Amino acid sequence: MITTMHLSSKMQNRFTLKILLTTLTLTISCSSFSASEIISSKQVIKDITYLASDELKGRASFSPEIDKAANYIAKRFADIGLKPMTIKNSGLNASNKNDQFLQRFTVHQIKPKTLNVVINGNEIASENLAIASTIAELNWQTNDVKLHIVKQNDDMRKTVSELNQEGGQHLVVINSAHAKTFKGYQGYFNRGLTKLSLEHRGAIVMVLSDEAELNSVSVSASATITTQSLTNVVGVLPAINPQKSIDKTSDNNNAGEIVLYSSHYDHLGTTEDGKQIYNGADDDASGTTAVINLAEYYAKQANNKRTLMFSAFTAEEIGGFGSKYFSEQLNPDDVVAMINIEMIGKPSKFGAGTVWMTGMERSNLGALLNEKLSPLNRQIYQDPYPEQGLFYRSDNATLARLGVPAHSFSSTQLDKDEHYHKVSDDIASLDLSSMHKVIESLATSTQALVNGSVTPTRIDKAQVRAKGKIY
């Protein structure tokens, strides 16, 4: 799950305690599972233990260690018997069978190199400048650019966010009353931008200045653009015997319809000195473990009348590039539902083994799933933290923008989760028994989606906020 401003978190030193607690938790959890489980708790523990292990060094996008995680997931998909997705970059020609599940693509990283701004003849000091840009070289004179002034009592965040939504090239002069907010943006922009495509040429140049009249401006800026590769892991469970549907009036030929189970397998890597690891056990090794084990469950069931897709997305933490790329490789109209699983490793505020979903009011998916759960005295709850905007803070938002009933399922108590985006988000902080129960609830509740007997309503695209064009 992504933070709203990508600001890094304070580190915590719990290293020694961590190792001790890991052993303890595993022992307790193993013995507390019931014999009637439909999904192997042993396998669940094995998967999450590896994905959250120190060996993977926090699964940072672009790191060599995230590739180890990808290879592990790909091998699990191959062993389960999934098929690769049939698209151009799916690795179909790979000689190694496991590599066929790797969906490789590139992103561009744009880092600001130089920035010079002259307003009314005065050169502005660099500490009062910030730039977010997707353009390698820009040179603006007064009439080339849209000028904006943020006055003392204006809402700076709102102005900047609206310009980001609009796209294009903007110079924003910001009153020094907003100095603190300006510094926040400056720090964020200085780290550079990552973009899936450089198609949109846009820039926002910010100047901290009390200048109220802009008679003449001159801006020149340059950036370094590099290209790096990223990898999603995608496996498909084709629909079972759709051609045997002889009765044309029956609606059981659902092979062209897709139910998508997803998570993100990337996380934050290590602290800057490399000494501590953001294991991301909850965020989102837990969801990835769920996706793998749901794939195994449904492959064994062999009763899916719809095509099932299982996707472990990369680069969620740095802006959701994995799900964005994935969404461009298929027709979103074919995706009947997206069950995105994020942070299910600890009991929710509703109790151990319970789960809630984001954006429940946007489609009737939650109501349909609860029809399956209510006889078992279980239910999927509504997101208890609407003020956190969680619907937009994971990969579901990308597919929701395309109309897919795409929701995230989680159990985090985000308002007081002391491990969120901390090095202490390790396996010792999880309740694996609770997590196992959540996975089983998801398996049970989505059965009707899988066998094609229910179809949720679409999400209204017009009601889903667009992503910014520039940063």
Q: Which residues bind Zn ion (CB under 5 A)?
A: 1, 283
- Shortest gap between Cβ of 2 and Zn ion (angstroms)? 6
Alpha helix segments (H runs only) across 253-364: 287-301, 321-327
Q: Which is nearer to Zn ion, 283 or 296 (CB)?
A: 283
Q: Would you call 5 exposed, middle or buried from its count of C-beta atoms within 10 A (0-12, 13-18, 19+)? A: exposed
Contacts of 31 (CB under 8 A, 6+ apart): none
Amino acid type, 7: L
Q: Which is nearer to Zn ion, 283 or 383 (CB)?
A: 283
CA–CA separation, 18 and 133 (whole Å): 41
Q: Are 344 and 286 in contact (CB under 8 A)?
A: yes
CA–CA separation, 266 and 271 (whole Å): 15
- Residue 280, sorted as left (phi over 0), alpha (psi -120 to 50) or beta, turns out to be left
- Shortest gap between Cβ of 120 and Zn ion (angstroms)? 44
- Shortest gap between Cβ of 451 and Zn ion (angstroms)? 33
- Shortest gap between Cβ of 109 and Zn ion (angstroms)? 20
Q: Which is nearer to Zn ion, 1 or 427 (CB)?
A: 1
Amino acid type, 130: A
Place of tokens 């400056």: 186
DSSP letter for 107, please: E
- Shortest gap between Cβ of 419 and Zn ion (angstroms)? 11
- Shortest gap between Cβ of 417 and Zn ion (angstroms)? 11
Q: Which is nearer to Zn ion, 1 or 365 (CB)?
A: 1
CA–CA separation, 417 and 3 (whole Å): 13
Q: Which is nearer to Zn ion, 61 or 354 (CB)?
A: 61
Three state DSSP letters for 295-306: HHHHHHHCCCCE
